[in-house]
Structure 1
Amino acid sequence: MTERGSLLAQPLQRPSAWRTLLYVGLFVLGLVVGAAGALVQAGWFPGGLLLALAGEAGLCLGGGRATGSRGGSIAPAAAWMIAVILLTASRPEGDFLFGAGGGSYLFLLGGMAVAVICATLGQGRQPGGRDVRLGK
């Protein structure tokens, strides 16, 4: 334990403006990657599908590394899911973005799996100090 006590015993603090701006930026990038992936996966199958999923994985893992927390992975993953779910709905004219093919289902399910994996792999907070051996 550190001299200040456990991290769970510390009072909650408001995140800094820089961190808040970083999370908002990651959220917007998640929306963009979700929309771009929806277009690319069907246009260049199967390479487009792999490119779209790799883009999402890179954004989620990069967000987690940039913030040093799981929240950096969760923000773009949540935005990706929101963008993709909104794009699956058909319009009143009968137009839709996702066809009923295997590639669309692989994109939807694979993207959700990638989001969960990246959020799980995000770095959690570890207490500092000599007595703690979590990071070794």
Structure 2
Amino acid sequence: MAAYGGLGVLGVPVGVAGSLVQGGWFPLGLLLALGGAGGLFWGGALVTRSRLGAAAPAGGWAVAVLFLTITRPQGDFVFAADAGSYLFLLGGMAIAVVCSTLAPSERPLFAVPEPRPRS
């Protein structure tokens, strides 16, 4: 449980950093932000060997990113209404789903059948 909690907390700064980088350096920043998020999600799945290992940092990432989409009363905002912001939001969600779906399990990919005794 501590690993999942730690991964969830680690998803927050990755979401914040990705939100800032994707808008600052548009074409490469978007790829860097999505690559960092995907690396965290897939790394969590590999470390914990479960789907929850990918979903925990994705939850922290989503909370941070959705919190940053809220417009402040002063009119300040992090996300502009452009294609890069939407690609970051939707691409990050798609990467989270893919990493959660393809997460490795405890079972081996190929099971070797046990030999049968000859009768």
TM superposition score normalised by structure 2: 0.88
Which deviations, in whole Å up to 9, do the C-alpha atoms of 1:9-64 show, x marking residues without a partner?
xxxxxxxxxxx221111011111100000000000111000000000110010000
Show structure 2 runs of 5+ residues with no match. Answer: 111-119
Q: Distance in 1 between matches of 2:10 and 2:2?
A: 12
- Partner secondary structure for residue 53 of structure 2: helix
> Partner residue of 2:67?
86
- How far apart are residue 135 of structure 1 and its match? 2.2
Q: Does 1:61 align with 2:35?
A: no
> Partner residue of 2:9?
28
Quick one: which amino acid aligns to residue 109 of structure 2? Answer: G
Quick one: which amino acid aligns to residue 91 of structure 2? Answer: G
Show structure 1 runs of 5+ residues with no match. Answer: 1-19, 127-133
Match for residue 73 of structure 1 among 38, 54, 63: 54
Quick one: which amino acid aligns to residue 135 of structure 1? Answer: L
> Partner residue of 2:99?
118
Q: Structure 1 runs of 4+ off > 6 angstroms?
A: none
* % identical equivalent positions: 57
- Partner secondary structure for residue 135 of structure 1: coil
> Partner residue of 1:100?
81
Q: Distance in 2 between matches of 1:85 and 1:125?
A: 33
The total of aligned residue pairs comes to 110
Quick one: which amino acid aligns to residue 56 of structure 1? Answer: A
Q: CA RMSD in A?
A: 1.0
Which deviations, in whole Å up to 9, do the C-alpha atoms of 1:86-127 show, x marking residues without a partner?
10000111111100111111111111111111111112343x
